[in-house]
Amino acid sequence: MAARILIIDYGSQYTQLIARRVREARVYSEIHPPTRTVEWVRQWKPTGIILSGGPCSVYGENVPTAQKELLEIAPVLGVCYGMQLIAHIEGGAVERAGRREYGRAEVEVIEPAGVFAGMAGAPVAAWMSHGDHVERPPKGYVVTARSANTPVAAMRHETKPIHGVQFHPEVAHTPRGGEIISNFLFEICGAEPSWTPGAFIEDEVRKIRELVGAKRVICGLSGGVDSSVAAALVHRAIGDQLTCVFVDTGLLRLGEREQVERTFRAHLGIHLVTVDASDRFLDALKNVEDPEKKRRAIGHTFIDVFEDATSEHAHGAEFLVQGTLYPDVIESASPTGGPSVTIKTHHNVGGLKPDMKFKLIEPLRELFKDEVRNVGRELGLPEEMVGRHPFPGPGLAIRILGDVSREKLDVLRKADSIYLEEIRAAGLYDEIWQAFAVLLPVRSVGVMGDERTYDNVVALRAVTSVDGMTADWYHFPHDVMAVISNRIINEVDGVNRVVYDVSSKPPATIEWE
C-alpha cells in the first residue's frame, strides 16, 4: 500500500500548505477534521499523522482536541497548536506567552537529528505565529530546538516517533521547512515518494472503469483546466462511452469555443456536442447589475441548457463528470464543524436539479490545481490549455461591472485578447497566476486625433499567487504596460482610457465581482 499522510486540521490558515508540501515530496496526503475518531484513523491506516496549527488555546472551552490513543497509531508531527496539543494531552505545561510571537525568528537546533537531520551549525530561520507556548515538555520528551522567546521551539519523545515544532515549516518564510517535512516523511515515517501524475492516472483509470462498466457518461465541458483534465482522464478510462457537452454561453473569451472544439475533437478524438446558448444567457442577464444575481441567473440558465442538451444527446447516460478539486472539498467545512464564511458564490457554475438522477464522477477531487495541470500534461493535453490562467465559470459577465450586453462583451473580449497576447509576447504569461481585463461602468473624457471623446474605461488586473488564496499584484515592466495600453486604446472601439489595479488579496479579491 502506498504511503499516505493524515493531516488533522485544527483551523490554521496554513493547513492546505502542509498538504501541498507533503505532496510536493511525492507522498499522498489528505486533510480531515479533528472530529475523526481514533477508530476511523486506525482504519484509514496512515503512514504518518500531522496535527496542524490553529487559532485556539488548549485551555479554551469547546476547542478541538485529540485523544491520547491517536499518538499510538503512527508517527506524529505536531505543528504549532498541534505541538501544544501533544504536550497538553501528554501532561506537559502549556502557558500563555508574555507577548504573542508572530513573524520571523531564529531557531537554535539543539539536536540535529530526527526532523532536524542535517541542520547542525547556524540557526534555522522559522515563521512563528502563536500566543501560547510549551513551557515544560511532558515526561519522556526532550527539547530539540529553542528560540529567544520560546524555550521549547521543538520537542520529541525519547523512544516513540512523536515530534513537535512550535513554528510553521510549511510556509515559505521557513526556508528549510521543506527539509523538516521531508525528514518527517522519509526518516521518521519511512514513506516512499510514489505520488506521481502517472501513478494517479493509472489508479483513477482503474477506479473509473470499475465504477462505470459499460454504462454511458456525460461531462459538462467549460474549456477550463479542471473540466478539460477531468474529461481527458475519463476518456482515457472509457473512450467512446463519454459524451462531452460544451455550452457556448456567449460569455467566453475570444476564440475560446474554437480552441475547445479543436482540442477535444481533432486532438483527443472525444465525442463533443457544442450548444450555442448565447441568446438565452444574454436574455437572462438583461438589466441585471448585482454580481450575485448575475451568478444565479447564469447558474440557473446553465442548468436548464445542460438539461436540454443531455435529454437530446446523452440518452441512457447514468454518470456525470465534474471537475471538483480538493480545495473545493476541504474549504466547504470548518475544522470545528461550525459555519464557514461565504465571501461570494463560487466561481464555478454548479448544482443540478434534484430530478436529474446522475451519479457523480469527480476524478480530480483529491488534487490541487498545480497537480491537475501536471495530470493534464501527462494525459497529453496541449500546454495552451493546461497552463492557462484560471477563468471563472460565469465568464466575462462578472468582468463587466453593471449590466451585460452583447456590445459590452465585444469590447471586453477584444481588450482582454490584446492584453493576454502582449503578456505572452513579452514572455510573462507563466510568471502571472491570473491576468484579465475588466470593463468599468464609467466613461471618461479623452482626445483622439482632433476630436473629444467620451468613452469606456478598461481596468487591467494581474496577480501572482500559489493557489489563489492570497495574491499580490504583478509588477509589470513599464514598457510592456505602455504597449498594452496603447494597443487597447488604438484598436478597441469605444475605449479611451486604461487603468491598472494594484490591490492585493486580501483585502481585495482577485476578481472584481
* 35-53 pLDDT, tens digit each: 999 999 999 999 999 999 9
- Among left, alpha and beta (phi > 0; psi -120 to 50; other), residue 183 is alpha
Q: In the chain, what percentage of residues exceed pLDDT 70?
A: 92
Nearest to 273 by CA among 305, 296, 250, 297: 305
Q: Tell me whether strands 472-473 and 451-464 are parallel, antiparallel or unpaired.
A: antiparallel
Query: In which residue are the cell numbers 457518461 written?
Result: 217
DSSP states of 338-373 as a string? SPPPP-S--SS-----TT--PEEE-TTTT--HHHHH
Helix/strand/coil for 272: strand
Question: Please, are residues 264 and 221 in contact by the beta-carbon 8 Å criterion?
Answer: yes
The pLDDT tens digits for 202-240 are: 999 999 999 999 999 999 888 788 989 999 999 999 999
The pLDDT tens digits for 184-205 are: 999 999 999 999 999 999 999 9
In DSSP terms, which residues pair with 130 in a beta bridge? 101
The pLDDT tens digits for 2-28 are: 899 999 999 988 898 899 999 999 999
Q: Name the phi and psi angles at 65, rounded to 5.
A: -135, -165
Query: pLDDT-derived band of residue 97, with 50, 70 and 90 as boundaries?
Result: low
Active site amino acids? 80, 168, 170
Judge if pTM exceeds 0.75.
yes
Nearest to 353 by CA among 303, 302, 284: 303
Measured CA to CA, the distance from residue 339 to residue 333 in angstroms comes to 7
Residue of higher predicted confidence among 430 and 264: 430
